[in-house]
Amino acid sequence: MASDINYQDGPDFSRRDESPAEDEPIHSPGSPRQTEYERIGGRTGSSFLQTLIHLLKGNIGTGLLGLPLAVKNAGLVLGPLSLLAMGIVAVHCMNLLVRCAHHLSPFLSYGDAVEYGMENVSWLSRHSLWGRRVVNMFLNITQLGFCCVYFVFLSDNVKQVVETANGTTGNCHNNQTAVIVPSYDSRLYMLFFLPFIIVLVFIRNLKYLAPLSLVANISMCVSLVLIYYYCLTNIPYPINLPLAGRGVDYPLFFGTAIFAFEGIGVVLPLENKMQNPRNFTTVLYLGMGIVTTLYISLGTIGYIGFGEHIRGSITLNLPLCWLYQAVKLLYSFGIYITYALQFYVSAEILIPPAVARCGPRWALMVDLSIRVALVVLTCKSCCYKTP
């Protein structure tokens, strides 16, 4: 039967509603489920370090580069404090979500958690299926929206490097104005990246994606170190920036900051793929602690370094020299890998139901076809809106 396929190295939920066998212990809500976790995750799951790498990769994306402008909209003191508060709320909500999933059943997706939760409320139980559908719909919109942004980021950054190649020098001490040389349309760069992204999303197991995530994290770390170095060595004295921004600009800060915390959609998929999901809480606190610290520090230092001249992406403020042009390319590679992680959430929602409707012979073909279609959809959506 197609429903018995252990697809994408994950568990089979086709029998999760059946009553437990007589020789199986019945676990009370909230009790440890070590034996179940080990049986489900097994040796094919991701290790502690691999899951941490994925969590960092899923949260460090294009939104990070816009946080200096977000701090400008909120103010030099109010901005970092607001980022700290948002980080605490985000971690608490992520942990609460994981705990609820454990309480309801030991291996749930977002839609499963909502449906099972609604079934325990009398006046919502009849609409529990719609709860799953609504959550899955918004998750798909969010995750595929991130993927669209990544297409635009990749094409725009590579396009900028190509267009300014003739004016790029080895002198990084003077922030020169870029001399733009007409280049190809951004949509052609998107089409260039399209086959490479399709090949990337064919990696269906997070365990095999971990080495690429590690390399991407290293490349992004190098680029961020260079950004930090330039900002710290060019801080003006005295610092004369407003401690709190205008109230009318605060919603702009909030929108940018919310977009930066873009990894909440990968929390349950990562936890579900761990060898021992009971350790995920440690991964979550450690990883999100690093992410929140990075958000606050880069947002604050970037705003202090460039002041009122800060632009939508801090990379646009960097000098026109080869060293800092390499920053754009290194960060672009990291975003390229991040695409696969954000895409993974939508794939986990859309592909298994389609595979369950076909025989084992066509399962792989249907899987890969849906992946190609979704990547083409995100690329096409960007091409329509990019001049």
Q: What is the pLDDT of residues 208-237, one digit of tens each?
A: 887 888 888 889 889 999 999 988 888 888
Per-residue pLDDT reduced to its tens digit, 293-332: 999 999 999 999 888 888 888 887 888 788 888 888 898 8
CA-based angle 282:109:340, to the nearest 5?
Answer: 80
- CB atoms near residue 193 (< 10 Å): 20
Q: Is 193 within 8 Å of 151 (Cβ atoms)? A: yes
Query: Which of 325, 387, 380, 322 minimizes the C-alpha distance to 144?
Result: 380
Which helix or strand (DSSP H or E) is residue 275 part of? none
Cβ-based neighbours of 1, under 8 Å, separated by 6 or more: none
Question: pLDDT confidence of 274, banded at 50, 70, 90?
Answer: confident
Cβ-based neighbours of 221, under 8 Å, separated by 6 or more: none
Query: Which of 266, 269, 327, 260 minimizes the C-alpha distance to 297?
Result: 260
The pair phi, psi for residue 274, each rounded to 5°, is: -75, 150
Question: Residue 169 pLDDT > 70, yes or no?
Answer: no
Question: Residue 383 pLDDT > 80, yes or no?
Answer: no
Sole residue written with tokens 């909502």: 114
pLDDT score for 25: 40
Report the chain's C-alpha Rg in angstroms.
23
Q: Is 71 within 8 Å of 231 (Cβ atoms)? A: no
Q: Is 212 within 8 Å of 344 (Cβ atoms)? A: no
- CB atoms near residue 141 (< 10 Å): 11
Query: Which of 94, 383, 77 minimizes the C-alpha distance to 262?
Result: 94
Per-residue pLDDT reduced to its tens digit, 14-67: 334 444 444 444 344 443 333 333 334 455 677 888 888 888 877 887 888 889
Separation between Cα atoms, residue 367 and residue 369, nearest integer Å: 6
pLDDT score for 206: 74
Q: To the nearest 10°, the Cα dihedral for 267, 270, 272, 277?
A: -90
Separation between Cα atoms, residue 138 and residue 349, nearest integer Å: 11
3-state class of 18 per DSSP? coil
Q: Which two tokens stand for residue 7?
A: 């697809």
**What HEC string does 210-264 produce?**
HHHHHHHHHHHHHHHHHHHHHHHCCCCCCCCCCCCCCHHHHHHHHHHHHHHCCCH
pLDDT score for 372: 93
pTM above 0.75, yes or no: no
Question: Residue 126 pLDDT > 60, yes or no?
Answer: yes
pLDDT score for 298: 92
Per-residue pLDDT reduced to its tens digit, 180-197: 556 677 788 888 899 999
Instruction: Report the helix count and the strand count for the chain, using DSSP H and E.
Output: 14, 0
Q: Is 261 within 8 Å of 90 (Cβ atoms)? A: yes
Q: Which residues pair with 321 in a beta bridge?
A: 169
Question: pLDDT confidence of 288, banded at 50, 70, 90?
Answer: very high
How far from each other are the two terminal CA atoms of the chain, in whole angstroms? 48
User: Does the bond joining 238 to the residue before it have cis omega, within 30 degrees of 0?
Assistant: yes
The pair phi, psi for residue 170, each rounded to 5°, is: -95, 0
